[in-house]
Chains A and B, each alone.
Chain A
C-alpha cells in the first residue's frame, strides 16, 4: 500500500517537473492580417464545380496585382500554393479552424506546389490528390522571402469555392470479406447451439 502511494507521489512530482521543464511554446508565426494581399490568384474550377480526387485537374494561375506600387515584390523569392477549406467545410469541425497566426492555422493544410517567383506571374497544373477529403475548397498563394517566411499572399474568393469529391477507399474485396466474416460468426453461434440441443436431448 505504502509502496504504491510512494510510487504515485513520485510520478506526480515527476510529471509536474517535466511540465515545468517543457520548452516555451514556439515563437508565434506570421499573422495573415499583416501580409499584403499583393497577388491575384485564379483557379480553373468554377464555383460549385465538382473535382474528383485522383482524376480531375486544377490549374492555378497567379500574378502580381497591377494596382500594387512598384517594388512591392522586391523581397519575393518563392511562391507556395495551398488548398484551403472553405467555411462550409469548416463548420462544426474545430480541427479545420482558420487562425490569423499562420503557424496555428489549420485551414490551409494541403500544399500544391512551391515555385520560384517571377514578376510576370506563374501557373501550375495540379491533379487532385487521392487523400484530399470531400469538401469545399479555395486556393491561396503565399509569397515567400529568401528565408521562407510569408511576406505576401493572394487567394481565390471563398465565395467561389469549388468542391472535391474524395475517394471512399472501399474496394470490392473489402465488401466481400466483411460479408463472409459476418456470416461465419453467426453460423458458428448457430452451430454451437445445435450441438448443445443435441447433447441436451441425448
Chain B
C-alpha cells in the first residue's frame, strides 16, 4: 500500500480503493476514475495531455480542410463559373454531411473508442480534400465540399476523449480548449489559403492552377494528424477500448441501449438546438464572411482573408474562456451557474450579430463588431460543452454527437434561409440570423437536473446525482456492475451542487445564489 503515496501527487483529489496494486502510474494528479484533475496546457504527459494535443490538432486539420474553399472563392467561382446559388448550395453541403456523421461518431465513440473512430473518419475524408484540386464544375465542387465536411464529426470524438480523460472540475476547460483550438482551423485557414495561393503564384503558376495546388496543404496536414492519433493516442487513462473490453474492466454496451438513453433525454435535444445557434452560426459565418468583406467593402482577397481569419482565430481564447467560465461558475453556483452563463453569453452573441448586420455602412465598425461577436458566440460553444458531460454517462458519446450534430443543423438551416441565392443581401441575412439566435437560446431556461436544479428552479430535495445517472441502467445491469463508473463520476461531480453542497454526495443542499 505504500506504493500509492509515490504514485500520486499530494494535491490530488482521491478516493482510495483496494485496486492500488493494479493502478497504473500517471505523471499527473488523477481522481478515482484515473481522470486528470489538472490541465497542463504545455505538457505532453501521456495519456491525458497527449490525448488533448492529438485530438485538438487533428480536429484543427479537419476544420482547415472543410473551410479551405471559402477564402479562395473569388478565384474558384471564376474558374468553375459558379453562381451565387451554386456557392450557397456548396456552403450548405459542407456542413450538412456532418449532421449525421456527428451522431454516428457519438455512437462509434461509445462502442469502439475515440481513437479509432476519429482517425477513421479523418483518413476516409482526406481523398475528398485531395480531389478538390481537380474539380471542374459546380456539382463536383458541391460534392467535394460535402464529403470533406464529414470530417467535422471528429469534434465529437474530441469532446468524448476529453470527457474520458479529465475530471468534472476540469472537463469544461479541457473540452473548451480542445474544441476552441480545433475551431481555430476555420479561422486560420482563411489566412493560410490566400498566403499559400500567393506563394504558389510567385513560384510561377497561373491563378487557375495555383488555387488547386493550394488544397494539398490541408490535405497532407489532415493525413499526418490522423496517423499520429493512431500511432500515439490512447482511448482512456487505463488503456484502449479493445484492451479494456477484453480484460473485463469495461462493459461493452449495446447500441440500442445507448441510443434509447440518448434520445429520451430531453436535455440532449435542447442543447442540440441551442448549439445550432452558437456553433452553427460560427460555421455559417466561416462560410460567408470572406466573400462578404470582399464584395461589400471592396478589399483585397488577402485582406478579406485576414478579416475572416480574425473571426475564427478568436477561438484561441474565446471557446476555452467559455469552458473556463463554465467551470468557474460551477465552483460558485453549481450547475445553475453553468446554465445561466450559457444563456447570458449566447444572448449577448445574438445581440451583437444583429448589430453586425446593421452597421454595414461602416467598414471599421463592421470589423470591430464582428470581433466582439466572435468572442461571445464561441464562448457560448465552450459553455455548452461544460454542460454536455453531465447530461448522460451511459450515452455520453451519443449526446455529444447529437449536440454536435445539432450545431451543424443550425449551420445548414441558417445558410439555407438567409445566405442562399440572391434573396437577402448578406447584411440583412446577418441581422435576421442574430434574431434567430435570440429566439433559439430561450429553451435553455427549460433544462432541469433534479439533483442540481435549473435556471429558475432549485434542486429537488433528496435528489442525488447517483440516482440520476443510475437511472440509465436497469436493476440487473446494476447488479452486474455495468454502472461502476457512475458512482465514481457522481462523487467527482459533487461541486455541481453549488458552493454550499459541501463534500457529501449523498445529500443535496438548496443552492444559495
B interface majority secondary structure: helix
Taking the closest CB of chain B, its distance from the CB of A183, in whole angstroms, is 8
A interface majority secondary structure: helix
A-B contact pairs, 22 of them (CB 8 A): A11-B372, A15-B364, A15-B371, A20-B364, A22-B364, A91-B83, A93-B77, A94-B422, A131-B206, A134-B81, A166-B79, A167-B208, A168-B208, A174-B133, A174-B134, A178-B131, A181-B126, A181-B130, A181-B220, A181-B223, A182-B131, A185-B124
**Residue contact B421 to A92, C-beta cutoff 8 Å:** yes
Residues on B with beta carbons closer than 8 Å to the beta carbon of A89:
81
A192 to B211, CA, bound (A): 32
B462 on interface, CB distance cutoff 8 Å: no
A178 to B85, CA, bound (A): 28
B321 on interface, CB distance cutoff 8 Å: yes
What 7 A-B pairs come out closest when comparing CB atoms? Answer: A15-B368, A169-B208, A19-B365, A182-B127, A19-B364, A133-B78, A92-B83
A91 to B85, CA, bound (A): 10
Residues on B with beta carbons closer than 8 Å to the beta carbon of A134:
81
Taking the closest CB of chain B, its distance from the CB of A20, in whole angstroms, is 8
Query: What does the 1/0 interface line of B77-108 toward A look like (CB < 8 Å)?
Result: 11101111100000000000000000000000
Taking the closest CB of chain B, its distance from the CB of A128, in whole angstroms, is 13
Residues on B with beta carbons closer than 8 Å to the beta carbon of A14:
368
* Closest partner residue, chain B, to A175 (CB atom): B134
Chain A interface: which size bin?
35 or more
Chain B interface: which size bin?
35 or more
Q: With A15-B371, A169-B79 as given contacts, are A185 and B127 in contact (CB-CB < 8 Å)?
A: yes
A135 to B79, CA, bound (A): 10
A196 on interface, CB distance cutoff 8 Å: yes
Residues on A with beta carbons closer than 8 Å to the beta carbon of B44:
none
Residues on A with beta carbons closer than 8 Å to the beta carbon of B231:
192
B295 on interface, CB distance cutoff 8 Å: yes
A1 to B326, CA, bound (A): 12
**Residue contact B295 to A95, C-beta cutoff 8 Å:** yes
A86 to B246, CA, bound (A): 69
Residues on A with beta carbons closer than 8 Å to the beta carbon of B83:
91-93
Kindly list 7 other residue pairs between chains A and B, CB separation below 8 angstroms, not including A93-B77, A169-B206, A170-B209.
A89-B81, A95-B77, A133-B81, A169-B212, A178-B130, A185-B123, A189-B123
A168 to B208, CA, bound (A): 7
B432 on interface, CB distance cutoff 8 Å: no
B60 on interface, CB distance cutoff 8 Å: no
Taking the closest CB of chain A, its distance from the CB of B115, in whole angstroms, is 10
Residues on B with beta carbons closer than 8 Å to the beta carbon of A11:
368, 371-372
**Residue contact A192 to B230, C-beta cutoff 8 Å:** yes
Residues on B with beta carbons closer than 8 Å to the beta carbon of A74:
none
B22 on interface, CB distance cutoff 8 Å: no
A189 to B375, CA, bound (A): 37
A4 on interface, CB distance cutoff 8 Å: yes
